[in-house]
Chain A
Amino acid sequence: MTLSDLDRRTLLRATGAAMLLGAGWPAGASQPLFAQGGAALSGEEITLTLSKGHLPIDGKPAAAIAINGSVPGPTLRLKQGQQLRLTVINELDEDASLHWHGLLLPFQMDGVPGVSFPGIPPRGRFTYEFPVTQSGTYWYHSHSGFQELMGAYGAIVIEPAEGMPAAEQVLVLSDHAFVHPAHILHNLKQDSDYYNRQPSTLQGLLQGQGKPLAERLGWAKMRMDPGDISDVSGAVLRYLVNGHGPQEGWNALFTPGQPLRLRVINAAGMSFFNLRIPGLPLEVIAADGQDVRPVSVDELQIGPGETYDLRVTPPDSRAYAFVAESADRSGMARATLAPAAGMKAEFPPLRPRPLLTMKDMGMDMPKGSSMKMTMRDGSLAPQVAMGPGVDMISAMPMDRTGDPGVGLDGLGHRVLTYHDLLALNPMPDTRAPEREVEVHLTGSMERYMWSMDGKTMRSAHDPLPFRTGERVRVTLVNDTMMAHPIHLHGHLFDLVTGQGLHAPRKHTVTVQPGGKASFDVTPEPGDWAFHCHLFLHMAMGMMRVAQVRPAKDMQVHPA
């Protein structure tokens, strides 16, 4: 669809209604309609401009922020070993920034306002300059205000120094609303269940759906809903592939029998996606830009901030459906892979909404155990500041890196877990961690509060201190019933999954509800943002600064 297909009156009507709903800004001559998906940019000098306008989603314009006039912004196609000078121009009326998600660079080029640089003022510009030392699939996005939720993101593809170019497609998955993200947050603050349009009902009980009565009462007693999978759902979000809504879809071509590399990036603000191509196995060949030993699966979950490279080899000349179903099954992003233009794939219906279990509450008791567990025993996590913002402490948090994600157990086909990932090359730093840092992911569903160790970014001005070059194990304990994709800026860490020297290297790790995940890391000097990549969770305060300083500058803590 082209922009001229849009009826101007429809446009004005839609934006008028959108304004009433707090959608951001009116349509006008100065408000361009953005393109869906940007061109590729390469070279050592690149300029990116942030501006506001509207993105047509399935023909209906939504207020958006674009980079170089498109959502997603241009794909940066870089070469390992090159130098890069990126000038970012801010045409917005508010401070802006761009962060290079997953890139290893000097911290002052990382692009987080207030942590690594001052931000870019309205109508100002900033030039980022750093060498490109790695290869793989990464992405970039704004780290200011609600800009990432409104379209300020794009893909980064870095070719290895000695690379064989192959047939490939970049798929940027995202979520976009027709209302302003601030309006979504306002609704969640009044009613944290506002967007859960698949709650447990009496009708479901009578029809034998969902949980039996005794279990429902147990959840009601805890004041929790086992159907609470996502804070923000398809009730308000449209799920996009390269800026295209589900009705439109996005199309890519393949040659039957030839392998095709899909570089999948989850740039969504608030959505986990379950990826599958019915009838085609997915060969996972890289995670977060790092090569892994190829592993073949039928489905995988990708959290916000993660990237996966999938190799597919469609054997015959038919159209295949690329399905990215939101984890709460409230909608899907769609792409069609076909041997010729204009072919249509059959998309499967949405599957039934999954339900949480006691394991997701960190209370997976062995059968017949007589242990009495409470939902909120602060003595189990002395470092957590117990208060109104912490509604749960996992009584028995298990390492859940071997679990595929909520609702993906027992599907009868192969679903990826972190345990299936083995780094192609052994890890560079093989030392044992000298110490372990535990960080609890905490929150209060009812109040829509999110924090680390019971303290929000605002209430804990204290950073997480590290020594430059030390080897540290970071263990994340999820004391909430939601999965959190935790991202450490400027580092690749080694997930502790029993793979020894071939631990998968990542920059973002999803910690399953009520579970634990550990990684080993060698901190790089500087201040680095460390946060949940569910955007509103970060905004609410599930974030810290990882403060890395030379050992000589840091006193030892008195024990």
Chain B
Amino acid sequence: MRRLAFIALTLACASPAFAQDHAHDAPPAADAADPVGTDQPAGSASAPSMAHNRAADRYYDPVAMARAEAAMMREGGGPYGAAVLDLAEYRLNRGRDSYEWEGEGWVGDLNRFVLRSRGEGEVGQKLDHGEVEAAYSRALTPWWNVQAGVRQDFGQGPARTHAMVALEGLAPYRFDVLAQAYLSDRGEVSARLEVSADQRITRKLVLQPRGEVLLAAQDLPGQRLGAGLSSAEAGLRLRYEFTRKFAPYVGVNWEWLPGRSGDLARLRGDSANSRGLVLGLHGWF
């Protein structure tokens, strides 16, 4: 858009045009040097200002028009929503089989209300650790959202409540990232980072490398984790998309409990590292 220097000048430029009878002018005798019709460059007359009224109100009931306009403005504004099951899996692990889930539901559009849940436990035992998070998600860029909310723990350990802030989105090279920081009602500070990427092998087969680390500023007895780098996970899952919404998978998953977490595990008589085959279901609706 051209910036205008002088209104007066532009008015002077524009007025001959208004004076002309528009349409049906005989075209000027064209010589090769003179562009005609659409070949002519555009002038720099000023734009008119907006009128704040509806032309149709002169013909129809303004109340009905206002209602129709409001309805049109609402169209396509959502809200939308979906329920997504990222992981729901059974882990085969030398006689100590376990299960894990992670999923979320959202409603809204650009900005959303998000309900997220995750948890894990050993087969045949009480639920080890579960979480439910409720958060408001606000779009930051085309790919990133910032989230704030609360998390409630349940399961074997103490039922902590946490305040949560998170950054969620799609990084360059199409990595899905979820970075969360927590402050519990006991003043415990912790953070979690999850990264995954979907690599399409064929139209139906998708290989998903996935990694997750937990960090804590102090021991987290509720989750049997120690301070520092509390735990790390890496997995490789191969899913078959019967449809995009229904995709069973098989994979391998490694878990490490380094440092203090490892010490705590050994005190319990558990191993600090584990590797297992996983079978699960990914989907959404």
Contact with B along A379-392 (1 / 0, CB 8 A): 00011000111110
State in angstroms the CA–CA spacing of A480 and B266 once bound together: 56
Instruction: For the complex, give the distance between the alpha carbons of A500 and B225 in Å.
Output: 76
Given contacts A108-B60, A557-B48, contact A426 B140 (CB under 8 A): no
0/1 string, B243-279, CB within 8 A of A gives 1: 0100000000000000000000000000000000000
Q: How near does chain B come to A504, taking the closest CB pair, in angstroms?
A: 10
Q: With an 8 A cutoff between CB atoms, is A16 at the interface?
A: no
Which of A183-191, A268-276, A292-300, A405-413 lies on the face that meets chain B? Answer: A183-191
Give CA–CA (A70, B270) in the complex, Å.
71
- Residues in B with CB closer than 8 Å to A19 are none
A444 close to B142 (CB less than 8 A): yes
How distant is the Cα of A463 from the Cα of B67 in the complex, in angstroms? 18
Determine whether the beta carbon of B22 is less than 8 Å from that of A471: yes
- B109 CB to nearest chain A CB (Å): 7
- CB <8 Å contact, A199 and B84: no
Contact B60 A433 (CB under 8 A): no
Q: In chain A, residues 456-502, which have Cβ atoms closer than 8 Å to a Cβ of chain B?
A: 457-458, 461-463, 465-467, 469-473, 494-502
Q: A520-B38, A559-B46 are in contact. Are A525 and B76 (CB under 8 A)?
A: no
Q: A539-B75, A559-B4 are in contact. Are A522 and B22 (CB under 8 A)?
A: yes
A49 at the interface (CB under 8 A from B): no
CB distance from A544 to the nearest CB of B (A): 11
Contacts of B17 in A (CB 8 A): 431, 434, 470-471
Evaluate contact between B59 and A108: CB separation under 8 angstroms: yes
Given the known inter-chain contacts A389-B142, A391-B143, A428-B23, please indicate yes or no for A559 contacting B6, CB distance below 8 A: yes
Contact of B55 among A217, A499, A525 (CB under 8 A): A525
- Given that A429-B25, A496-B38, A520-B38 are known contacts, is A559 also in contact with B3, CB under 8 Å in the complex? yes
Contact partners of B84 in chain A: CB under 8 A: 190
Among B1, B7, B141, contact of A556 (Cβ-Cβ < 8 Å): B7
Q: Is A449 an interface residue (CB 8 A)?
A: yes
A223 near B172 with CB under 8 A, answer yes
Contact call B77/A114, Cβ cutoff below 8 A: no
The A-contacting residues of B in range 50-94, CB under 8 angstroms, are 50-51, 54-56, 59-61, 64-65, 67-78, 80-82, 84
User: Using a CB-CB cutoff of 8 Å, which residues 152-176 of chain B contact chain A?
Assistant: 170, 172-174
Contact assessment for A118 and B67 in the assembled complex, using a CB-CB cutoff below 8 Å = yes
A500 touches B38 (CB 8 A): yes
- The reply on B125 being an interface residue by CB < 8 A is no
Which residues of A sit under 8 angstroms from B27, Cβ to Cβ? 426, 430, 501
**B81 to A, closest residue via Cβ:** A186
- Contacts known (A114-B73, A429-B22, A431-B17); A119 close to B68, Cβ less than 8 A: yes
Give A496 to B37 CA distance when docked, in angstroms.
Answer: 9
Query: Smallest distance from the beta carbon of B6 to chain A beta carbons, Å?
Result: 7
> How near does chain A come to B7, taking the closest CB pair, in angstroms?
5
Asked whether A473 lies within 8 Å of B143 as measured between CB atoms, the reply is: no
Contacts of B143 in A (CB 8 A): 223, 391, 446
* Segment with Cβ contacts to B, from A58-66, A315-323, A546-554: A546-554
Give chain B's interface residue range (CB within 8 Å of chain A): 35 or more
**For the complex, is B96 an interface residue (Cβ under 8 Å from A)?**
no
Instruction: Give the docked Cα–Cα distance between A503 and B60 (Å).
Output: 37
User: Is the Cβ of A427 less than 8 Å from the Cβ of B38?
Assistant: yes
Contacts between the two chains (Cβ within 8 Å), count: 247
Complex Cα gap A433–B41 (Å): 7
Contact A527 B56 (CB under 8 A): yes
The answer to whether B139 and A465 touch across the interface, beta carbons within 8 angstroms, is no
Name the contact of A118 in the complex, choosing from B51, B65, B202 (C-beta under 8 A).
B65
Contacting pair B36 A500 (CB below 8 A): yes
Q: Does A434 contact B14, Cβ atoms closer than 8 Å?
A: yes
Contact, CB under 8 Å: A426 / B37: yes
8 A Cβ contacts from B175-218 to A: 199-203, 207
Complex contacts, A539 vs chain B, CB 8 Å: 75-76
- From A115, A390, A520, A536, B69 is in contact (CB under 8 Å) with A115
List of B residues within 8 angstroms of A427 by Cβ: 37-38
- Interface: B35 (CB within 8 A): yes
Measured between beta carbons, the chain B residues less than 8 angstroms from A501 are: 27, 36-38
Chain B contact surface mostly: loop
Known A-B contacts A190-B284, A200-B200; A551 and B47 likewise in contact (beta carbons under 8 Å): no
A20 to chain B, nearest CB (A): 12
- Give A538's nearest chain B residue, CB to CB: B76
A25 at interface (Cβ–Cβ under 8 A)? no
Q: Given contacts A114-B73, A391-B143, A559-B7, is CB(A432)–CB(B48) below 8 Å?
A: no
Is A221's beta carbon under 8 Å from chain B? yes
> Which residue from B5, B35, B142 sits with its C-beta under 8 Å from A559?
B5
List A contacts of B199 (CB < 8 A).
202
Cross-chain contact of B20 among A198, A376, A431 (Cβ < 8 A): A431
Q: Which residues in A have their C-beta under 8 angstroms from that of B60?
A: 108, 117-118
Residues in chain B near residue A95, CB distance under 8 A:
68, 71
Please measure, in the bound complex, the distance between the C-alpha atom of A437 and the C-alpha atom of B2, giving whole angstroms. Answer: 10
Q: B51–A473 contact, CB under 8 A?
A: no
With A108-B60, A471-B22, A499-B38 as known contacts, state yes or no: A554 contacts B48, CB within 8 Å: yes
- Show the binding face of A for B, using Cβ within 8 Å: 95, 107-108, 112-119, 145, 185-186, 189-191, 194, 197-203, 217, 220-223, 376, 382-383, 387-391, 426-438, 444, 446-447, 449, 457-458, 461-463, 465-467, 469-473, 494-503, 520, 522, 525-527, 536, 538-541, 547, 549, 551, 553-559
7 tightest Cβ-Cβ pairs between the two chains A and B: A114-B72, A432-B40, A554-B48, A388-B139, A539-B76, A391-B142, A559-B4
A461-B73, A496-B38, A500-B39 known, 10 other contacts, Cβ within 8 Å: A107-B55, A119-B68, A186-B80, A388-B141, A494-B37, A522-B22, A547-B51, A551-B48, A557-B46, A557-B49
Taking Cβ atoms with an 8 Å cutoff, the residues of B that contact A are 1-7, 10-11, 13-14, 17-18, 20, 22-25, 27-28, 30, 35-51, 54-56, 59-61, 64-65, 67-78, 80-82, 84, 109-110, 139-143, 170, 172-174, 199-203, 207, 244, 284
27 A-B interface contacts by CB (under 8 A):
A107-B55, A107-B56, A115-B72, A117-B65, A118-B68, A186-B82, A191-B284, A202-B200, A220-B172, A388-B140, A427-B37, A432-B41, A436-B1, A436-B44, A447-B139, A447-B142, A457-B73, A458-B76, A461-B73, A467-B48, A470-B17, A501-B37, A501-B38, A503-B37, A538-B76, A547-B51, A557-B49
